[in-house]
Amino acid sequence: MELYSTLEHLLTLQNPSQKVEEFRTFYSQYILGRVSKKETSSTLMFEKPSYAGHMNYCDQKEAPRRSKLGAVRGQILLLHSVAHIEYSAIDLALDAAYRFRDVGDEFIDDWLKVADDEVRHFVMINGLLHEMGSFYGEHMVHDALFEASRQTQTLLERMAVVPRYLEANGLDATPLILNKLDSLRKDPMVLKIIDALEIILEEEVDHVCRGDKWFHFACKRENISPDVFFEIIERHYPQSFPRKTAVNCDARKSAGFECHELEKISLIKC
């Protein structure tokens, strides 16, 4: 088994169950040191997300909106949205290991570990969907996370946009969802959803932290100030900062954000 050709194969698999099964087989071999790192293929540019042949997808603005969380439909739409984020995150992590081949073994180890976490998260959320009589792919999904990967083809931009912006936004958003679910704890399914989201929130801090590490590595390699983060985000997501809403200060600090950065991100001081 060779690393890059296997990653390319995983990134082009369209069936979620097959991707999960084959990744787990690959990763178990990787952990045992049975995967060759001899480069055997050039790096491909993926023009469509891996799920393109498996489900309907659209622009983020056209994706289904979550309805009331006290209703079954609202809970299903929430879980489906989270499942799509986690599934997309699998490919984002795999693509980082596949694409940035000059960084080193520690980088590969980090992003394959992240991919393994995202696989576990996806399986957990998809399991809850099945309990509710639904499944991943029942509803329309958006391609925003795939577009983020397609538009960030340097290590510096990828680490700024994906872990330090998109995933860090999740650190802010998940507690808000948990607060909305808190009043619905009498519902056994809501309790399961809360437990799952709390696991994901805790482990996503580590993912953002790994991204922060490699963002600073890229800044040092290019001899550029980490403040370039704000220039990159403004280029890809104009007028994202400063926000008038609070951020998850503790989680962001644990993930590597500095106080002066948090002051630029949100008008509400930590």
pLDDT in tens, 43-72: 999 999 999 887 888 777 777 776 789 999
- In-domain check, residue 190: yes
Residue 194 lies in a domain: yes
**Measured distance CA(150)–CA(161) in Å, rounded:** 11
Is residue 26 included in any domain, yes or no?
Answer: no
* Alpha-carbon gap, residue 154 to 159, rounded angstroms: 9
What is residue 75's predicted lDDT score, i.e. its pLDDT? 96
Question: pLDDT of 180-203, one tens digit each?
Answer: 999 999 999 999 999 999 999 999
**From CA 214, how far away is CA 159, in angstroms rounded?**
7
Residue type, 173: A
Domain count for the chain: 1
In a domain, 225, yes or no: yes
pTM: 0.96
Range of the domain at 97: 65-265
20-34, 65-79, 158-172, 213-227: range with lowest mean pLDDT: 65-79
Structural domain contains residue 131: yes
Report yes or no on 112 lying in a domain: yes
Report the alpha-carbon angle 106-223-219, nearest 5. 45
CATH number at residue 133: 1.20.1260.10
Cβ(91)–Cβ(49) below 8 Å? yes
- Torsion (CA) 152, 154, 157, 159 in degrees, nearest 10: 100
